Chains A and B, each alone.
Chain A
Amino acid sequence: MTAEREFDLIRDSLDHCVKCTICESACPVAAVTPLFPGPKYVGPQAERFRGAGESVDASLDYCSSCGMCTLACPQDVHVAEINSRARAVMKQQHGIPLRDQLIARPPLQGKLGTPVAPLANLVLSNRLARLVAEKALGIHRDAPVPKFAGRTFRSWARRQPAPATTGTRRVAYFHGCSTNYFEPGLGRMTVAVLAHNGCRVVLPRQECCGLPLQSNGIFDAARSYVRRLAAGLAPYARQGYPIVATSTSCGLMLKREATEILGVEDDDLRAVSGQTYDICEFLAELHQAGELRTDFRPVPLTVTYHAPCQQQGHNIGKPALDLLALVPGLKVIELDRACCGIAGTYGLKREKYDIAMQVGSGLFGDIRAAQPDLAVCDSETCRWQITHGTGRTSVHPVEVLYRAYGLG
């Protein structure tokens, strides 16, 4: 644990709570289950009673950490962050299940699964194997899990010549675990889109940011993960490289969650935070500066756009909408839903799967009604959940831009 600080701006923000209950009206979990009494009760209200003693309020575990409460709060109370910290204390006291230890470590999964991808994928799509995983581990049999790509993004990138670009803008790409092990295509498209816009892309050494560990209450390990990552990215940040992330939740970890939830105070992290951009945020800022290429070909498709909860936590609005609006012929339907339910690893868990599906049901209904060619969404776990809930193909906004630039 980090040393007790005299002033803890996150916990102390609860003193700004005026009990207006606006956060309760934003919470997608409390809206579907009485098992979670709501962010205000569990957060600023209960936090006053939490001391050094035993954690007694197990309902805390039903918070999905989507962060809509913090987003909604007009008084700057860090409701979700307070809850995440209190949950970590509770889980440490009550013991962390093996399941949570496993699903919180994407690099471990990736390293085990990648060399034997066909077999691993076969097992993961096998009913019986999933039933066993549910009984033995508590991972719901129907929960959406990704397929191993077999060849990592980094192994592809190592064999690439430096992309031909006349530009001088240097960008460090933080691709994250998911792109590396599960969706290397997104990484290739991102590099191509950035190169098309005159960016020289470098790939710093990187491993997991620790977000899944954090959201499963395993803070000590999460801190060492994010510190290691920050140390690898910091030299680039200090040279002024923007650090561009395609995993919106992992980018948010670097921007603020590692500080606000894990309490990491670290010069490397500070340097990295200030330079971290979500890919759509970065491209939209290029556009505002008049430096984004707009040589888009028509893409005559209808797409829905869902800004995942973790993307909304960047507090930048929805820059993907501004980018997609540049593509001729593309019809974009903006969806207004808080969360798809999965919230990283929340919806994988046997006891929370149904809640996650109910949280997502409004979004799934909107997407089914819109009958889009593609369901666009910035976060990988949300894309898997959306496809699981609707049967529709779900892609990152960069994939649409990649097509529109005619790069594929």
Chain B
Amino acid sequence: MSEQPGTATADVIVLGAGMAGLVAATRLAEAGLRVVTVAKGYGSLRLAPATIDILGYGPEPVDSPAQALAGFAAAHPEHPYALISQVMLADSVQWLKEHVGTYAYVGDPSTNMLLPTAIGVPRPSAVVPETMAGGDVRRLGPVLIAGFGVLKDFHAALAAENLQAAAYALEARPVLLDAPVGGQADVGALALARRFEDAAFRGAVAAELRAAVRGEEAIGLPAVLGVDQARSVWTELQQAVGRPVFEIPTAVPTSVPGMRLDRELAGRLRRAGGRLVLGAEATGPELRNGRLAGVRIRSAPRVTTRACRWVVLATGGLASGGIEVDVSGAVSERALGLPVHAPGPGETRFGPSYFGDHPMETAGLRVDGSLRPVGPDGEPVYPNVYAAGAVIGGARPWREKSGDGISLSTGYLAAEAILKEAG
């Protein structure tokens, strides 16, 4: 529903439509600002399992991200978490929960759950879709891991074997279901998830599960229980089988749970009157008196300037192309040309061991307390540009299991900083 006046000039241009960008944009649009989000394509939410990993390793396993946060920040003063208070983190999590209505999240920053991955290895995560929470290995009794013969991206036997071997489950055994897929030999996770929105298909799978399940077993399934109707599919399946059911994220993208979360957040943004421009790319800032007055945006076949009062830069890090390394080793920030903190040409970029530390891992922007990117002098490059998510350097999210928490909390904080200025 479009409630806002015509967007002649945007108040805020958000660059990037991943977790950080969508959270910032939605929060700002809901506060009544005119927000235009510009992205090259869909954001990275669709590639991730949609759990909110806040802090899993610091580097020792973390039981309570909320309690560990202050100590972790003190030990890592250049980490984005050094700018996030425990209250801010909790507020951002609460905000997310309130904004994902049809697909509820459970848990909070005080405790990490340990959810099995597709190969049955526990992964720490604090806030997770309710459809996955039952897989928490800290409380897992006997479990039946059910796969589908047509889904080649999830191996029930491997997951069950690993859960059993490490005693994560009291007892784990696999079963392979013959879902009625009309003779197809190979059905991907997304196509299977769409089948689950059909009641007859769901009924057939439920009947197979009823026949296979024993005693007090819970049932773990790959995360394919519906796309738009995940909650009702999951609820109905549990009722039909009479046992608790939990989803396990599949390892190969596209991620069905990620797609659910992406659609929820993008829908929220749209309903708040926010605009989303896909397939376009920011090519540089438009400056006036040292302030950023707009963003140059390429939408084939030309580049136009869109005026704005603030920018949230949420284009992602090295993996997403927000930060780029050229053949000479020079590192740059692509959208606005902001200074990047990274090893320069000639400096050591990678350590000798693959799984060891690499200086390049933490490449990214440095920001001030309200997330404004700063130059070498420590001063904000522009007074009205804020960064959020993986474009901010200093973190090692794949080691720390911190990426979602960083993106959520910095996206939330960037919006807060702008709202304070907007008054």
**Residues of chain A at the chain B interface (Cβ within 8 Å):** 19-22, 24-26, 30-31, 34, 38, 70-76, 255-256, 273-274, 276, 285, 287-288, 290, 305, 312-318, 321-326, 331-334, 336
Is there an interface contact between B307 and A325, defined as CB atoms closer than 8 Å? no
Is there an interface contact between A336 and B253, defined as CB atoms closer than 8 Å? no
Known contacts A22-B42, A74-B43, A274-B301; is-contact A324 B254 (Cβ 8 Å): no
**Residues of chain B at the chain A interface (Cβ within 8 Å):** 1-2, 4-9, 36, 39-44, 46-47, 182, 184, 188, 190-191, 194, 252-254, 259, 266-267, 270, 275-280, 299-302, 304, 306-307, 320-321
For A313, list chain B residues within 8 Å (CB).
Answer: 279
Known contacts A74-B41, A75-B41; is-contact A318 B301 (Cβ 8 Å): no
Is there an interface contact between B279 and A315, defined as CB atoms closer than 8 Å? yes
Enumerate the 6 nearest inter-chain pairs by beta-carbon distance, A residue then B residue, closest first: A74-B41, A315-B279, A317-B277, A315-B299, A326-B6, A21-B254
Known contacts A317-B275, A322-B7; is-contact A336 B270 (Cβ 8 Å): yes
For B276, list chain A residues within 8 Å (CB).
Answer: 317
Is there an interface contact between A315 and B277, defined as CB atoms closer than 8 Å? yes
Shortest A151–chain B CB gap in Å is: 34
Shortest A82–chain B CB gap in Å is: 15
For B41, list chain A residues within 8 Å (CB).
Answer: 22, 71-76
Is there an interface contact between A336 and B267, defined as CB atoms closer than 8 Å? yes
Is there an interface contact between A74 and B190, defined as CB atoms closer than 8 Å? no
Is there an interface contact between A25 and B279, defined as CB atoms closer than 8 Å? no
Known contacts A315-B277, A317-B276, A333-B1; is-contact A22 B270 (Cβ 8 Å): no
Is there an interface contact between A71 and B184, defined as CB atoms closer than 8 Å? no
Is there an interface contact between A317 and B36, defined as CB atoms closer than 8 Å? yes
For A326, list chain B residues within 8 Å (CB).
Answer: 5-6
Is there an interface contact between A325 and B2, defined as CB atoms closer than 8 Å? yes
Shortest A139–chain B CB gap in Å is: 28
Known contacts A74-B320, A288-B8, A326-B5; is-contact A321 B254 (Cβ 8 Å): no
B279's nearest neighbour on chain A, judged by CB, is A315
Q: Give the complex CA separation of A325 and B5 in angstroms.
A: 6
- A sample of 22 cross-chain residue pairs with beta-carbon separation below 8 angstroms, ordered by A number, consists of A21-B188, A21-B190, A25-B42, A26-B42, A34-B182, A71-B41, A71-B279, A74-B40, A74-B41, A75-B321, A256-B300, A312-B279, A315-B280, A316-B280, A318-B275, A321-B2, A322-B8, A323-B6, A325-B6, A326-B5, A331-B1, A334-B270
Partner of B190, one of A19, A24, A70: A24
For B306, list chain A residues within 8 Å (CB).
Answer: 288
Q: Give the complex CA separation of A255 and B279 in angstroms.
A: 14
Shortest B6–chain A CB gap in Å is: 4
Count contacts between A and B, CB distance < 8 Å: 117
Is there an interface contact between A72 and B278, defined as CB atoms closer than 8 Å? yes
For A24, list chain B residues within 8 Å (CB).
Answer: 188, 190, 254
Q: Give the complex CA separation of A255 and B190 in angstroms.
A: 33
B2, B43, B280, B302: which has the most chain A beta carbons within 10 Å? Answer: B2
Shortest A299–chain B CB gap in Å is: 14
For B259, list chain A residues within 8 Å (CB).
Answer: 25
Q: Give the complex CA separation of A315 and B302 in angstroms.
A: 11
Is there an interface contact between A74 and B321, defined as CB atoms closer than 8 Å? yes
Q: Give the complex CA separation of A276 and B191 in angstroms.
A: 39
Q: Give the complex CA separation of A248 and B277 in angstroms.
A: 16
Partner of A321, one of B47, B191, B275, B321: B275
For A26, list chain B residues within 8 Å (CB).
Answer: 42
Q: Give the complex CA separation of A312 and B302 in angstroms.
A: 16
B46, B279, B302, B307: which has the most chain A beta carbons within 10 Å? Answer: B279
Q: Give the complex CA separation of A324 and B1 in angstroms.
A: 12
Is there an interface contact between B279 and A70, defined as CB atoms closer than 8 Å? yes
Is there an interface contact between A287 and B8, defined as CB atoms closer than 8 Å? yes
For A273, list chain B residues within 8 Å (CB).
Answer: 301
B5's nearest neighbour on chain A, judged by CB, is A325
For B194, list chain A residues within 8 Å (CB).
Answer: 31
For B42, list chain A residues within 8 Å (CB).
Answer: 22, 25-26, 72, 74
Is there an interface contact between A290 and B8, defined as CB atoms closer than 8 Å? yes
Is there an interface contact between B254 and A334, defined as CB atoms closer than 8 Å? no
Q: Give the complex CA separation of A372 and B6 in angstroms.
A: 21
For B40, list chain A residues within 8 Å (CB).
Answer: 73-76
For B1, list chain A residues within 8 Å (CB).
Answer: 331-334
Q: Give the complex CA separation of A290 and B9 in angstroms.
A: 10
Shortest B295–chain A CB gap in Å is: 13
Q: Give the complex CA separation of A194 and B363 in angstroms.
A: 50
Is there an interface contact between A71 and B275, defined as CB atoms closer than 8 Å? no
Is there an interface contact between A74 and B184, defined as CB atoms closer than 8 Å? no
For A312, list chain B residues within 8 Å (CB).
Answer: 278-279
Is there an interface contact between B254 and A255, defined as CB atoms closer than 8 Å? no
For B270, list chain A residues within 8 Å (CB).
Answer: 334, 336
Shortest B389–chain A CB gap in Å is: 14
For B302, list chain A residues within 8 Å (CB).
Answer: 274
Shortest B103–chain A CB gap in Å is: 16
